[in-house]
Amino acid sequence: MSDDHALFVTAPAGLEPLLATEIRALGLDPVHERRGGVECHGSLAQAYRLCLWSRIGNRLLLPLASFPAPDPDALYAGMREVDWLAHMTAEGSLAIDVTGVRPAIAHSRYAAQKAKDAVVDQIRDATGLRPTVDLERPDCRFHLHLAGDQAAVSLDLSGDSLHRRGYREPGTAAPLKENLAAAVLMRADWPAIAAEGGSLYDPFCGSGTLAIEAAWMASDTAPGLLRTHYGFLGWKQHDDTIWKELVDEALERQEQGIETLPVIVATDHDPVAIRLTRDNLRRAGLDGRVHVERREFGDLAPAERHRAGLVVMNPPYGERLAMDRELVPLYARIGDVLRGRFAGWQAILLTGADVEIGLRPDKSWRVFNGAIPCRLERFIIEQDAAEASSELAEPLVNRVLKNRRQLGRWLKQQNITNYRLYDADIPEFALAIDVYGSRGGDWLHVQEYQAPSTVDARDARARLRAALNALPQALDVPEQRLVYKVRSRQRGDSQYQRQASEGLWLEVREGACKLLVNLTDYLDTGLFLDHRPVRHWLGEQAAGKRLLNLFCYTGAATVHAAVNGARETVSVDLSRTYLDWLKRNLALNGQDSPAHRVERADCRAWLRQDRGSYDLIFLDPPSFSNSKRMDGTLDVQRDHVDLIREALARLAPDGTLVFSTNLKRFRLDRDALADVAIEDRSQWSIPKDFARSKRIHQCFFIRRSA
């Protein structure tokens, strides 16, 4: 064969321009970008060099033939025309990968079978021997592509995807492939930064892929040097002398380059990630050459001796609610840390989360990390702008600290550790900030109210980032203990639906009760803080009495009654999740006994069937519900009279029905309830930490008239 071979190098979608630049730098020209890869021509030595040195490519294909293949028989016939013994021995093994199947040949396995039969039949007819099929490590791997009525078959010189460098433990999954990591670094112009002695920081190192690729680039290490298998090694036309010369050259270049390696720092908050990074660095021949340590992102800062260079980041992505809870505060900190500590550096961020960091990118590209569409953004951090972010959050910080001072004595006197600290006091910061005190320290539960359309979205995001950055430090709470959510108008019982599965459970105290709250998995935490006075009152009244808790949610009021000596409690709700939560709360307080009954039912249907008599009834229905498990819908404004009357039918003669609702526009129909005694206790029931929001709920004590 001629030593001028047509070649096709495949690449991940969007990386074709980078691959073309890389191939030209390796001495092959001309090159032509195509969808999914780059076409070029080169000698056998240049093909080997591509396999050894390409940081971007996936596979190197050597086209063998193309022919019409409108149906399976034509495919078989076309494959029989190729001289397969020119490429493999009769005793060898093969595998055929198929892409681009068409309707007449509808399945890739069927196409591969027909193609394999043609190869095997031809070799058997010529030699009497039959090659074997080895899908894992064949002597020759062939690639068959079907497009329209045409077929093209190639020899895969790489044998396995070139992104598999050899420093990962076999079978280990990684969120970032090596060739995409290399592309990120090339877009950031890391080779030029490294040549000038610039440092590199990777604060989300994961398993160390970016740090290793950066070190190999800076040390002139061939990315394929660790690989022990290539597709051409079993090819009959392989020239081992040429290959060994290229490997020897690569080893010499690595030996020289490793001594000029600039400072590279890889950190992560996860100890497992640190262990994986160290293991991969050792296999990559970089043990001791890259500084690795466990560090929270908020503590990231360059050492004075480190020259300004590049911060490269592939922070976690996430599903929508996980993003709300964790990623928005994290991405806000990214912008703050870069502004405040890395002035004069460059940064590049690969993210699949639709979250901004508060810096304007110098350049942006769209890429794919596997099947995940991502943005790759490069930033030039020209000056320290951290003060601007701090100034933006200053009004909020001042108000939050003022609120804490004003509440301080009351909180201490009442022994309250779970409270609302801020509730959209300043229109520009539409947030609700709650503090939950656990044995491990305070947590911040920050909810962003849905901004009206009149508020500029960019300004709102900037203020949110500033707030999320400033609050932990202002309130002396570790940034990892800030939980963020977006609170929008909910329909039906959607506010009770599970929204994440992180299981961040905290044990908190309220009076004499221990209660479990979950800050992450649901829109609400399991403890309505504004109902605290009602729960305490029910507990104080409960000794020796029977309590009925309707629409009980997680049963905090039931727990107060049980702990304070209630003779019997009955708690009714439709949600199995929240009833299980109530059972856990009762057990936590040593009250998991038959005296405290839990009923899963539609409260209205249950009331019509129950014949019990209760001294205390707590009726706190949702504003609206259309749960599929209910008979019809529930609208508290429309249905409250019927609800109250059905509950009163179960009330003991001297008992009290506590009716509460959070519907702000609620109007109690006193005319329809003229025959009962109604006492508006709304003002009394709103605690001091909610006094800024007088309509947070309404509360009525209802008793039978004398």
CA-nearest of 603, 577, 572 to 522 is 577
The strand pair at 698-704 and 676-680 is best described as antiparallel
The helix/strand/coil state of 622 is coil
The helix/strand/coil state of 313 is strand
Q: Tokens 């050259």 — which residue? A: 249
Residue 406 CA to residue 420 CA, distance in Å, equals 12
**The pLDDT value given to residue 678:** 97
**The pLDDT value given to residue 521:** 84
| Structure-block tokens of residue 359 | 């810096």
Which residues, other chains included, contact 627 with Cβ-Cβ below 8 Å and sequence gap of 6+?
492, 493, 574
Q: With residue 151 as reference, give the H or E element that holds it.
A: strand 150-156
Q: With residue 390 as reference, give the H or E element that holds it.
A: helix 386-414
**The pLDDT value given to residue 490:** 42
The ranges of the chain with pLDDT < 50 are 1, 320-322, 489-501
Residue 375 CA to residue 355 CA, distance in Å, equals 10
Question: With the C-alpha atoms ordered 41, 152, 64, 59, is the resulting torsion angle positive or negative?
Answer: positive
**The pLDDT value given to residue 493:** 43
Residue 529 CA to residue 688 CA, distance in Å, equals 11
Instruction: Indicate the DSSP class of residue 327.
Output: I
Q: Is there a cis peptide before residue 30, judged by omega within 30 degrees of 0?
A: yes
**The pLDDT value given to residue 104:** 66
Domains, the chain: 5-156 (3.30.2130.30), 178-220+257-384 (3.40.50.150), 387-488 (3.30.750.80), 523-704 (3.40.50.150)
Residue 465 CA to residue 385 CA, distance in Å, equals 14
**The pLDDT value given to residue 320:** 47
**The pLDDT value given to residue 491:** 42
Which residue blocks in 42-95 are alpha helix, DSSP H?
A: 44-53, 72-80
**The pLDDT value given to residue 2:** 62
Q: Contact, 681 vs 413, CB < 8 A?
A: no
Question: With the C-alpha atoms ordered 570, 575, 579, 582, is the resulting torsion angle positive or negative?
Answer: negative
Residue 463 CA to residue 397 CA, distance in Å, equals 12
Question: With the C-alpha atoms ordered 497, 500, 502, 505, is the resulting torsion angle positive or negative?
Answer: negative
- Which amino acid makes up residue 404? R
Residue 369 CA to residue 350 CA, distance in Å, equals 9
Residue 501 CA to residue 493 CA, distance in Å, equals 18
Question: With the C-alpha atoms ordered 619, 623, 627, 632, is the resulting torsion angle positive or negative?
Answer: positive
**Angle (CA) 567 568 574, round 5°:** 160
Q: Contact, 343 vs 381, CB < 8 A?
A: yes
Which residues, other chains included, contact 565 with Cβ-Cβ below 8 Å and sequence gap of 6+?
542, 543, 544
- Summarised one tens digit per residue, pLDDT across range 577-597 is 999 999 999 999 999 999 999
Residue 481 CA to residue 126 CA, distance in Å, equals 72
- Summarised one tens digit per residue, pLDDT across range 73-97 is 999 999 999 999 999 999 999 999 9
Residue 182 CA to residue 97 CA, distance in Å, equals 26
Determine the number of helices (DSSP H) and then strands (DSSP E) in the chain: 19, 30
Q: Contact, 482 vs 531, CB < 8 A?
A: no
Q: Tokens 């209760």 — which residue? A: 614
CA-nearest of 697, 700, 698 to 420 is 697
Sheet order of strands, 150-156 included: 31-34, 37-42, 5-10, 60-68, 150-156, 140-147, 93-99, 132-133
Q: Contact, 158 vs 231, CB < 8 A?
A: yes
Cα separation values, 439 from 111, 296, 417, 421, 436, Å: 63, 22, 11, 19, 10
